[in-house]
Amino acid sequence: MNGARWLAQALVAEGVDTLFGYPGGAIMPFYDALYDVPQLKHVLVRHEQGAAFAANGYARASGRVGVCVATSGPGATNLFTGIADALVDSVPMVAITGQVPTALMGTDAFQELDVFGMSFPMVKHSFIVRSVDELPRIVGEAFRIARSGRPGPVLIDLPKDVQNADASHLPAHVPAEVEPPDAPKDASLHEALALISLAQRPVIYGGGGIALGDAVQDFRTFVDATQIPTVLTLKGLGALPSKHPLNLGMLGMHGSRAANLAVQEADLLIVVGARFDDRATGKLAEFAPQARVVHMDLDACEIGKLRVADAGVRGDIRTTLAKLTLPCAAHLHGRNGAARKAWRSQCQHRALQHAPRYDAPGSTVYAPALLKQLSETAPEAFVVCDVGQHQMWVAQHWQMDHPRKHLTSGALGAMGFGLPAAIGAQLQDRDAQVICVSGDGSIQMNLQELATLRRYNLPVKIVLLDNQALGMVRQWQELFFDKRYSEIDLTDNPDFIALAQAFGIEALHVERAEDVDAALDALLRTPGPALLHVAIDTAANVWPLVPPNRNNAQMIDDTAATMEAAHALPA
C-alpha cells in the first residue's frame, strides 16, 4: 500500500466512479495503482484540456464532483483552462497533478513547474502534498471544499515520491462532512418581503445559483405562487421551462426584447442566484434604473458587489425561497394587485409580440429554426454548447426544461468546451441523450476528442454549424469595426464529413432547409456517435444585440435603420 494506491481507494470512498486523464512520468505511480482498482473508470482523453472539460461537463450534468488527472509540467498547465472555467462557473472539481519528487522541487527538473503557485487564481484552494501522512487530511479537505458553499475546483499537486511512499499505516479514507449552507437571517427576509409587497412592476431575475443550490423546484413554486414575470441568465436557463407563461426569456446582450424591456421598466428586481454579470446588465449604470433590488445569494461576496442591494438575503436559496413563497404570494395578491396584474399582462403581451419567427426566407438552413426543432424532437436531451454564435442561438431558441441539461461555458467563454464536456455529460449517464452543438471554429479547438468518443462508443450527437468563419467575431467586425474583417476567414476548413469518418464517427451533411427533417431524424436514429454537418450562411447574425456601452433597452436587430445606427456606434 503506497500513497498512490491509498489515493485511488480514497477516491472510491469519496464516491468517484469516473475520472478523466492522460498519463505521464510524474503521475505514473497513480496510473499503476488504477490498474488494480476496477471501481474507478478512467477515461483516456487525447489532450489534458479535454480531461478538464470532460470532468467539468460530468460535474455540471450530475452535480457531483468531477475529477481530472494529468502529469507535471505541460500536463498540468493544459488542465488550467478547464479548471478556470470551473471556477468562474462554480463547478465542483478536483484536479490531481503529478509533480517531480520533493527532493527535486525547485531545481528546474524535467517537466517541473510551480503548479501549486500557478493555480492560485483559478481554484477555490490548492494543495501540495509533501508527505504521505498528509494525504488523508488533504484529500478529505479537497473534496469538502469543492462541494461546499459555492462549488468550485480544487487542485492537489502530488510529488512522485509521495505517490511511492509507504502508506500501509494510513487509515481507510472517510469523506469529510460538508456543512449545510447557512439559513437566511429572519431580518433580511422581512426586508425582502416588505419591498416585494410594495412593488407594482416586479421582475424575478434568476441565475445559475438556482441549480447550484438544488433549488429548481423551489424557484418554480415561488414563480407560480407570486405570478411575477421572470427573466433568466445564460446559466439560469431551464430554471423555469422555456414555455412557462411567465418566462420572458434570457436577458442581456443577446436576450429577448421582452426580458430586457421588462427589466429596464421594473420597479423591483428579485435577484435569485445571479451576479449582475456584464453580459446580462449591459451598461451597468443604466441597468434597471427605476428598480430597487432584493438580492438572494449563498455567496455574501456577490451581494452588493456590482449593484447595491436594498435587501440582501444571504443564505441557502432553497430555504430563502421556501420561507418567502407563501408570505409573498399573500401580499402580492392583495395591495397593488390590479397594477401588478396589468404589468404581468403587458410583459406577456410583449413576449408574444416579439416572439422569434422561424419562417426565414430562402432555401438554406436557418440555424435558429433547426435548433428549436431539434430541441422539440429530443426534449429530454442534454445540450452542450461551444462558444460563439451557435451558443447564443441555443440559448435563445432551445426549449429547455432544466438548467443541468444546458451545459455551456458561461463566464469564461472557452472555445473547445463542447465536445469534451459532452463526453463528460454522457459518461455521468450512459442512457442519457446528449447533443453537442458546435461551430466550425470551436470544434477544431478539441477535435482530437472524436477519438475518445469513438473509443468508448459514446452515443453523443454533434451538430456542427459551419459558416466558414469565426462567426461572433465576424459579426462584431461587421457592426462595430466598419466591416474590416480581420482573421475570421475559415473558408479553408477541412472536410468535416471525411474527418469524422476518419475517426470512425458516422457523419451526415445538410445544406437545404427542406432536408432538415430527414437529417435530424437520421442523426438521432444513429445508434452510436454521429456528426451532422450543417452549412449555414456566413452572413447570418445573432439578433437582437445590445451594442457596447448601451443599456438593455437599446437593442438592435437586422433592419436597415438599426444596422445604420450600429455602424455609427463607437467600438
Instruction: Please tell me the predicted confidence (pLDDT) of residue 330.
Output: 85
Whether residue 257 lies inside any domain: the answer is yes
Mean pLDDT (whole number) for 148-159: 97
Determine the Cα–Cα distance for residues 266 and 215; give it in Å rounded to an integer.
24
At residue 107, does pLDDT exceed 50? yes
Residue 447 DSSP one-character state: G
Q: What is the per-residue pLDDT for 140?
A: 98
Q: Domain check: are 50 and 87 in the same one?
A: yes
- Across 401-413, average pLDDT: 97
Residue 509 and residue 403 in one domain: yes
Mean pLDDT is lowest, of 89-98, 103-112, 343-352, for 103-112
- How far, CA to CA in Å, does 564 sit from each of 389, 403, 549, 560? 21, 37, 17, 6
Q: What is the pLDDT of residue 571?
A: 43
Please determine, for residue 4, whether its predicted confidence score (pLDDT) is greater than 60: yes
293 and 375 housed in the same domain: no
157 and 193 in a single domain? The answer is no
Question: Does residue 405 sit in the same domain as residue 462?
Answer: yes
pLDDT tens per residue, range 169-191: 999 999 999 999 999 999 999 99
End position of a domain, from candidates 130, 164, 198 = 164
Q: Is the pLDDT of residue 567 over 60?
A: no
Is the predicted pLDDT of residue 497 greater than 50, yes or no?
Answer: yes
- Tell me: pLDDT of 526 over 60: yes
Confidence of residue 337 (pLDDT cuts 50, 70, 90): confident
Q: With beta carbons less than 8 A apart as the criterion, state whether 360 and 366 touch.
A: yes
Among residues 188, 223, 162, which one has the least CA distance to residue 316? 188
The pLDDT value recorded for residue 559 is 66
Q: Is the confidence at residue 564, as pLDDT, over 90?
A: no
| pLDDT surpassing 70 at residue 228 | yes
Residue 1 — very low, low, confident or very high, per pLDDT cuts 50/70/90?
very high
Query: What was the pLDDT predicted at 72?
Result: 97
Tell me if 254 is assigned to some domain: yes
Q: Percent of the chain at pLDDT above 90?
A: 94
* Burial label, 485 (beta-carbon count in 10 A; 0-12, 13-18, 19+): middle
How many angstroms separate the Cα of 179 from the Cα of each of 143, 147, 174, 430?
12, 10, 15, 31
- 508 is a domain residue: yes
Q: Does the residue 547 lie in any domain?
A: no
Single residue among 353, 380, 404 that ends a domain in this structure: 353
Handedness of CA 308, 311, 315, 319 (dihedral sign): negative
Question: Do 18 and 47 sit in the same domain of this protein?
Answer: yes
Per-residue pLDDT at 279 exceeds 60 = yes
Number of domains in the chain: 3
Does any domain span residue 568?
A: no
When pLDDT is averaged across residues 418-423 and rounded to a whole number, the result is 98
Provide the grid cell at 399: 426549449
Where is pLDDT greater, at 112 or 332?
A: 112
Indicate the residue among 112, 130, 164 that finishes a domain: 164
How close are the terminal C-alpha atoms of the chain, in Å? 61
Please provide the DSSP assignment of 163-207 as one string.
HHSB-TTSPPP-PPPPPPPPPPPHHHHHHHHHHHHH-SSEEEEE-
In this structure, are 377 and 502 located in the same domain?
yes
* Residues of the domain holding 55: 3-164
Would residue 389 count as lying in a domain?
yes
- pLDDT, residue 360, reads 87
Same domain, 412 and 505: yes
On whether residue 570 sits in a domain, the answer given is: no
Identify the pLDDT of residue 239. 98
pLDDT tens for each residue of 234-274:
999 999 999 999 999 999 999 999 999 999 999 999 999 99
- What's the pLDDT at 322? 96
Residue 566 has pLDDT above 60, yes or no: no
| Positions marked active-site | 48, 110-111, 160, 472
Residues 342 and 384 in one domain: no
pLDDT at 334 (0 to 100)? 66
Does 245 reside within a domain?
Answer: yes
Predicted confidence (pLDDT) per residue in 44-86, tens digit: 999 999 999 999 999 999 999 999 999 999 999 999 999 999 9
Q: Which three cell numbers stand for residue 99?
A: 509533480
The CATH code of the domain that includes 315 is: 3.40.50.1220
Cis status, amide bond into 356, omega within 30 of 0: no
Check whether residue 430 and residue 333 sit in a common domain: no
Report pLDDT for 332.
75
Does pTM surpass 0.85?
A: yes
Do 339 and 461 lie in one domain? The reply is no
Residue 561 confidence (pLDDT) above 70: no
Across all residues in the chain, what is the average pLDDT? 95
pLDDT of 569: 52
CATH for 83: 3.40.50.970
Is the pLDDT at 565 greater than 60? The verdict is no
Domain co-membership, 222 together with 273: yes
- Give the full edge-to-edge strand order of the sheet including 230-232: 247-250, 230-232, 202-206, 268-272, 292-297, 311-314
